[in-house]
Amino acid sequence: MARWRTAIRAALFAAATCPSSAQDTGFVNGRKDLSTEDSGVVPGRYIIELQPGGQGRRARTRDESGVEAVVQDINSLGYDATVKEDFSGLSNRFDGGTVEISLENDTTIIDDIKNIPGVANVWPVHHISLNVSFETTSGSPEWNPHTFTHAKEVHDRDFTGAGQRVCVIDSGIDVNHPALKDNIAGGKNLFDGSDSLEDCTGHGTFVSSVIVANNKDYHGVAPGAEIYMYKIFGCDTTTSTDLVLKGLLAADADNCDIISMSVGSKTGYRYAVTARVASEVAQDRLVITAAGNDGQKGPYFASSPAVGQGVVSVGSVEADQTLAWPARIVSSSGESLNISYVTPTGFKYNETLDAELTLDTGDSCNIQSFANEGAAVLSKRGVCPSSWAGRTIVNRGYDYALVFDAYNQGFYYDVDFAENFWGDIKLFAIVAASVGDWARAQAAEGHTFRLVINADADPISGDDTEIPSAGHVSEFSSWGPSYENDLAPLISAPGGFVYGAFPDGRFAVSSGTSFSTPYVAGVAALYYAHAKKDKDEFIRRLVSTSQTLPAFSDSDKKVLAQNGPVAQQGAGLINVASVFNHEVVLLSEPALHLNDTDNRVNTHTIRVQNNGNEEVVFNITHVPSSTVSSRNVLWYVNTYYPPLTDAAVSVDAPQLVTVPAGATQEFEVTFASPDDSKDSGALWSGKIVLQGSNDQAISIPYLGVEASTYEWGALHHGAEVYYYDQNTGELHPVDYTGKPYRAAEGGSPEIWFAFRYGTYEFSIDIVGEDYTTDQFVYPPVAAVGSDAWYGPIRQQPVIGWSPMDFPMREVVRFSQGSFVTFRSLANGTAIPSGRYRILSRALRIFGDASDPKDWQLYLSDSFSVQLGDDPVPESGSTTTTLDAASTAAVPSSQAPSATTADVTSTTEAVVSSATTSAPSSTVTEDATSVPGSTTTLDVAAEPTGLEGVVSSLRLQRHQDPSPMLADASVWMELHILIDIPRPVPANSVVQFAIPEEIVDVADGATLSTSGSSLGRTTFNKETRIYSFPTGEWATWHKNMRGDFYVMCRFDPDFARAMKPGTYVVEFPVAGGAVLQSTIYHTAVDRTEVYERLSMIPYDGTTLFSADIEVPASHGPWDWVQLETSLNTIDGFVCDQSGVYVGRASCGDQRMRSITDVTEASTDLCQTKRYRAKYQNTLKGNEVLRFTVAGIQGNWNAWTFEFVYALDVQLTNGTMVLYDYKAVKFEKNPRTRAAEFDHFSGEDARQG
C-alpha cells in the first residue's frame, strides 16, 4: 500500500540526551525560550567582596562605606551602579555588599569590577524560591514523628532544649501563634529594615514550629528552646542570595550557636558565594541548611550553601505516620460500621456531621447517582486522578465523599487531590476496601446509610503499612554530590508530609527539605542544652550514628536495593538517642570524600575515642551502598531514579581495632576503585562500619565517582543555531533564507543549548566569520573585523521577560534544550552589518579560566546581520547546507546522530533491530553494531536530473501503524530530504536509485505545495530509478525544501535470509554521488510477536485485555521484559494482568498447558505503570505470554490505548530493543484524513 506523509524535521535536531525519564527527554523537544528565572540569575545585580581595607581607587569619605566607594569607581568606568545591600559592619567574615547596575551598559562588568583595586571577588546574584506548598487547617494536629527518629527517648529524659537559642533565616514568624508565642526571643527584619517579623508566606512560621512548637497535641523537637528570626523575604515566595548572605552574616555577628537555613540556590558549586561564606561561618557556628527539593533532577544537583565545607546539609525522609480519623456508617438495618478515613492533607473533617450517604454503583470517576442537598456519597475508587474524581463528585451535587480503595491503589494521603483540586467539596476521604464490601452487602438487602462524624474525635491510626514511601528518602530530596564531588546532603531527617504551625493561629501540612533542616536544628538545640556546645563533636555524632535507608524508587513504589546511595541520603536517617548515648565517638572527618578519577584520595585515616570506662573492641566491616549510573551514554546526568549498576568497590582495612577506656585509636582504610571503566560515571558509596563489643556501632560514609569531572564538560556539543520560520513553525539551518537578520525587525537566529553538567562560566558570543577557536583568550578582548571577538550577546526575549546578559556564571544545570534570541551585544551595542558566527564556550570544572585549554569552545555556521541600510560585506556563500547545519559546531568524534526515536532511547549496549522484515536504521558513525558481518546493498544505476539537491535518504522502521495497513511491522519509511536553493527549469527532474532488495516502493503520489502541483512520483522496478518532476512552481521559487517519506519494505525472501549484522544501503543520486543509510539488524521477527485483544464486562465497566505472546524462537535469551504506562485517566488492573508460559497450538494460535509465572515475573504493577520481566528460557514450541489488562477512567471515552516496549536480552550478549508498539481498543473505530503538502519555498520573482 502506498502512503505518503509529511515528516517532522527531527533530522535538524542533534539529540542532546538519551531519555532516562519522561521528564528529561531531549534537546529540542518543544519551544522554550530561556527566561532569567530559568538561568537563576537576578539581572544586573552583583555581590562584591572587598579585600581587607578595600576601598576602591580612591580614599573614602568619612561617611562612605567601602561598597559605596567602589560604586563610585564603577560609575567612573561608564556604568550606572547603585548600592543595593551593604554588609559593612555585619561580620568580619565578609566585607562587601550588593550593587545594582543598569542593563543598558552591562557586559563584561564582572571582570571590570574585579580589576578595581580593593575588590576581592564578584558573583552574580541568584534567585531563591520557596519551592513548597501548604494545606492549612484551623485544628491542631496530634502528630508525633519523634518515635521514628528516636527523639522520643530523649524527650522522655526531660530534654527539651530549654535555654538554647536557634537562629532561623527565613520568611518571618507569626509571633502570636499559640504554639510558638512563648518560644520567640525576637528577630530582625533584613528585608526592608522595619520592626515587623510578619510572615506572609507561612514558611518561616512552619519551620520554627518544627523546632519549638509546644501545645497539647503537637510539639517540636526542642519545645523548650527559643527562636530568633532573621526575616529575608517580603510577601512573595522569592528572595535572593545577597539577602541570604546578609542573614548569615547577621546571625554570625549576633554570636548564634545554631543557624538554621531552609533556603538555597541551585548553584551547587563549592565556591558559590553563599557556600563559601557559610563555610567560613561554619568554622565557629553550627550551620544547618536544606539540601534542596530537586530530587527529580537526579545526581549532581546540589544547592548552595548546602555544599559549603563544614555545613550540615539535610535531605528529607518521608514521615512514617498516617493520620487516620474515626467515623461511623449507620445502616437502616440497625447495624453500624466504625471506619477510619484519611483525607488528602491528613487533617480531619473538623465539624460534627450526620448526613445521608448514598452507595454509588459507579466509581469515583464515573458517579452514577445525583445528590440531595447536604448528602454524602460512598463509591469505589476509580483509576482517574482524584482531582478529576472530585470534580465529578461535585458535578453530581455531593458535598461529602468517601472513596473505598480499589485496584490496589492504597489507603493514604492523596497528593493529587490536595494540589490540583479547586472545587467546592467539604470532605473527600479514602477508606479501606472492606468498607465497600460491608456497604454492598447491606445494600443488597435494600438498606440505606448515614455518615456520622464527631468533630472532637482523636486520630485512631498511625499505621504506615499502606504508604509505600513511608520511612524512605523523599522523591523530591535533592541528590549530590556538588560539581566538585563534595558530599551533600550529609544526613537526612523527616521532611515528607510534615505538620507545623501556620500564620493566623492555623496549622498546615507540607513537604520539603525546608522542614527536615529545622528538625536537625532542634536536635542540635537538645544536644547543646543537655550535653555540650561542641559543633564538631555534634556533627560527628550525628553522622556516625545515622541509619542507612534502602534505595527506594517513589516512581515504582518499591525498594530497589537494601542500602540506598549516599549521594541521595548522606549518612541516612538521624538517630537522636544514639547522638546522646554513644560512648565511643569519631574524631576524624565525619565523611570520606574520594572525589573523581583525577582527584582520587584512596587512603584515609579514621580516628576514634573511647569515652567509656571499659575497653571496646571494634569489628571493622565495609558495607557498600547501591552504585548508581550518574550519566547516560552522552554524559547527560541520569534523572530520578538513576539506574543501579553492579560496579563493586573493595576496601583494605584492619579486621579488629581495640580502643582502651579513655584512649584514642586510629587506623587507615584504602579504597580500590570499582571494577568498572574510569569514565563509566558510576557513583559509588557506602560506609565503613565499626561494630563495638559494647553493642554500639558508628559508621563513616564515603562517596566517589568513576569519571573525570574535568573531562565531563557542560556541553555535549556547541550551541545549535537555527532559523525559525514563524509561518511554518519549523527550524532550518541558520542561514536557510540567505537573507540577513535585522535586529530592528526582531530578527535573530535561535541559539539552542543545554547543560549535561556544571560549568563556572558559559557564554554565547558574537565573533567574525573568520574567527577560530585558536584565537581565544580570557578575558576576551573585543575588537572589530572578520576574525574578531565582538562580545557576548544580550538575550532579548520576544515576550515580557527581563533581558539577560551573557556570560552566565555558576550555571544551573538543565538537560532539556532552551533557546535564546538577541538583538544586541550584552553592553547594548548594536551589531554592525557583517558575517558572523556564534562562539559558545564553557569553563570546565577545576579549570583555570585563563588557560584556553580548560574551555570547551565551539563555533557555529556563519550568518549575516544587517544594521539599518548598511550593506552586508560580500561572502563566498549565502546558503548553508542542511548537513553542515545539523552538525554545526560539533567535533567529529561527538557529532550528533540522526536516529529513530527508539534508537535514541537505547542503553549503551547495542543498537539493534527488532524485526527481520523491517530493521531500524541509523546514520550514526559511532553506534555499537550487533554481532555479525557488514553487508552492502548497492544498485548499478545512474540517475540523472538535478544534481546536489537530494540531501539525505534514510531508512527507518514504520512509526505510525494503521489498522488499514496489513502487517504494519514489516514496513519501512524511506525518508527523502530535498533542498533546491534557486529556481530551476520547468522540465527538471529529481532522481535517485534504490537497491533491488527493497520492494513495494510507493509511487504514483502527487506532490504538492500551497495548492500547486509538482507532478506525480514514479518508480521503475527494472531500472530501480525513483523520480519526480519539480513542476512549474519550481521555476519561480527559491530555497525550496521537501521533507517526506515513502513506504517500502525488504523483499520477503531476502528478509527471511538476513543474518545478524550491519547492512549498508546505498542510494545513487544524480551526479555520481552515493548516499547511505546504515541498518543494524538482529534475526528477530517482530511479526512473530502475536497480539490478541479482548473486551469483556468487568466490575460494572469494561475490561480491556491484551495478550502479547513471544515464541521461544526469539531466544535463546537471558530475559524478556515488557514495560508500559497509561495516560493520567485510565488505569491497569493488576489482578487481571499476568505472565504465563505454555505450548503453542498450530491450529488456533491458542496456548496449551499454561503455567502461571506472574508472581515471579511481575516487577511493577500500578494503575498507571506495568512492568514484567521473565528470566528463564523456553524450549521447543513454548510461548511466553504477557497479559496486560486495564479499565477506562472515563467510561464514556471512545478508546483505551497504551504503548508497550518489549526488550529481549539474548544469551549472545545482544540487547534487542523492540520498536514501541501501540495497542488500541476502539468502541467506535474511525478513519482519519491525511495531508499532502510536502514542499515549501519562497517567491523568487522580482518586484
Report the pLDDT value the prediction gives residue 937, as an integer from 0 to 100.
95
From start to end of 392-547, where are the E strands?
400-404, 427-431, 449-453, 491-496, 498-502, 506-510
Provide the pLDDT for residue 926: 32
Residue 819 parent element (H or E): strand 818-820
SS (H, E, C) 384-433: CCHHHHHHHHHHCCCCEEEEECCCCCCCCCCHHHHHHCCCCCCEEEEECH
C-alpha 198: how far from chain center = 35
Per-residue confidence (pLDDT) for residue 1052, from 0 to 100: 86
Q: What is the pLDDT of residue 1243?
A: 73
Highest mean pLDDT among 16-20, 709-713, 915-919, 1032-1036: 709-713
- Tell whether the torsion through CA atoms of 875, 877, 878 and 880 is positive or negative: negative
Query: 352-394, pLDDT tens digit by residue?
Result: 999 999 999 999 999 999 998 899 999 999 999 888 999 999 9
Q: DSSP letter string over 936-983? A: EE-------SSSS-EEEEEEEE--S--TTSTTGGG-EEEEEEEEE-S-
- How confident is the model at residue 880, as a pLDDT? 29
Given a cut of 50, is residue 109 above it in pLDDT? yes
Helix (H, G, I), strand (E, B) or coil at 535: helix
20, 39, 379, 514: the active-site residue: 514
Q: What is the pLDDT of residues 853-873, one digit of tens each?
A: 999 999 998 999 998 888 887
Q: Please enumerate in sequence order all residues whose Cβ is within 8 A of that of 1033, keeping only pairs 6 or more positions apart, or say none.
A: 1009, 1012, 1013, 1014, 1239, 1241
User: pLDDT tens for residues 248-273?
Assistant: 999 999 999 999 999 988 888 999 99
Q: Looking at 24, 170, 199, 320, which residue is catalytic?
A: 170
CB 326 within 8 A of CB 339: yes
8 A C-beta contact, residue 481 and residue 488 = yes
Structure-block grid coordinates of residue 436: 465497600
Residue 488 CB-density burial (10 A; 0-12 exposed, 13-18 middle, 19+ buried): buried
Report pLDDT for 823: 86
**DSSP-assigned beta bridge partners for residue 331:** 449
Q: pLDDT for 278-321, tens place per residue? A: 999 999 999 999 999 999 999 999 999 999 999 999 999 998 77
- Note the pLDDT of residue 590: 96
pLDDT at 910 exceeding the cut of 60: no
Asked if 155 is an active-site residue, the reply is no
582 counts as catalytic: no
Question: Is residue 855 within 8 Å of 840, Cβ to Cβ?
Answer: no
Greater confidence (1221 vs 989) lies with 989
CA 280 to CA 263: how far, in whole Å?
18
In this predicted structure, the answer to whether residue 882 has a pLDDT above a threshold of 50 is no
- What pLDDT is stored for residue 400 in this prediction? 95
- Among 249, 272, 639, 263, CA closest to 486: 272
Who has greater pLDDT, 126 or 418? 126
- Starting at the earlier edge strand, list the strands of the sheet with 226-231: 184-189, 226-231, 165-170, 258-261, 286-290, 312-318, 491-496
C-beta of residue 1108 within 8 angstroms of C-beta of residue 1207: no
Range with lowest mean pLDDT among 470-484, 532-546, 1053-1067, 1183-1197: 1053-1067
Model confidence at 35: pLDDT above 60: no
Residue matched to cell numbers 528570626: 229
pLDDT tens readout for residues 1139-1187: 999 988 665 567 888 999 999 999 889 899 999 999 998 988 899 999 9
Cβ neighbours for 687, distance < 8 A, ≥ 6 positions apart: 548, 566, 571, 622, 623, 625, 699, 700, 701, 702
- Tell me the HSE value of 629 on the side-chain side, using a 13 A CA sphere: 18
| CA angle at 1009 for the pair 1003 and 1011, rounded to the nearest 5° | 110
The runs of H, that is alpha helices, within 573-629 are 576-581
Active site residue 514: yes
- Mean pLDDT, to the nearest integer, of 211-215? 92
Query: What is the pLDDT at residue 797?
Result: 66
Quick: pLDDT tens for 617-629: 999 999 999 999 9
Query: DSSP readout, 263-322?
Result: --BS---TTSHHHHHHHHHTTTSEEEEE--S-GGG-SS---BTTTSTT-EEEEEEE-S--
Q: Which residue has the cell 504506562?
A: 1125
Class of residue 138 by CB neighbours under 10 A (exposed 0-12, middle 13-18, buried 19+) = exposed
Grid cell locating 331: 445502616
* pLDDT at residue 281, as a whole number: 97
Q: Position 345: which residue type?
A: T
Q: CA torsion 576→580→585→590, rounded to 10°?
A: 30
Q: Which of 446-455, 670-679, 867-876, 1003-1012 has the highest mean pLDDT?
A: 446-455
Sign of the four-CA dihedral 1210, 1211, 1214, 1215: positive
Beta bridge partners of 215: none
> Position of cell 530537586?
294
The Cα–Cα gap between 135 and 510 comes to: 7
Q: Is 330 exposed, middle or buried (0-12, 13-18, 19+ CB in 10 A)?
A: middle
Q: What domains lie within the chain, and their CATH numbers? A: 36-129 (3.30.70.80), 135-319+469-581 (3.40.50.200), 325-453 (3.50.30.30), 589-709 (2.60.40.2310), 711-894 (no CATH), 909-1081 (2.60.40.1280), 1090-1217 (2.60.40.2430)
Angle between helices 513-530 and 535-544 (to 10 degrees): 120
Element of type H or E holding 541: helix 535-544
pLDDT tens digits along 1076-1107: 988 777 655 556 788 888 889 998 899 999 99
Among the listed residues 203, 582, 717, 1114, the single catalytic one is: 203
By the 8 A CB rule, do 290 and 306 touch? yes
pLDDT at 886: 27
Whether residue 639 contacts residue 24, with contact meaning beta carbons closer than 8 Å, is answered with yes
Closest CA to 1105 of 1222, 1187, 1215: 1187
* pLDDT per position as a tens digit, 796-815: 765 555 678 899 888 888 87
Cell numbers 528518602: residue: 473
What's the pLDDT tens digit per position in 671-711?
A: 998 877 778 899 999 999 999 999 999 999 999 999 999 99
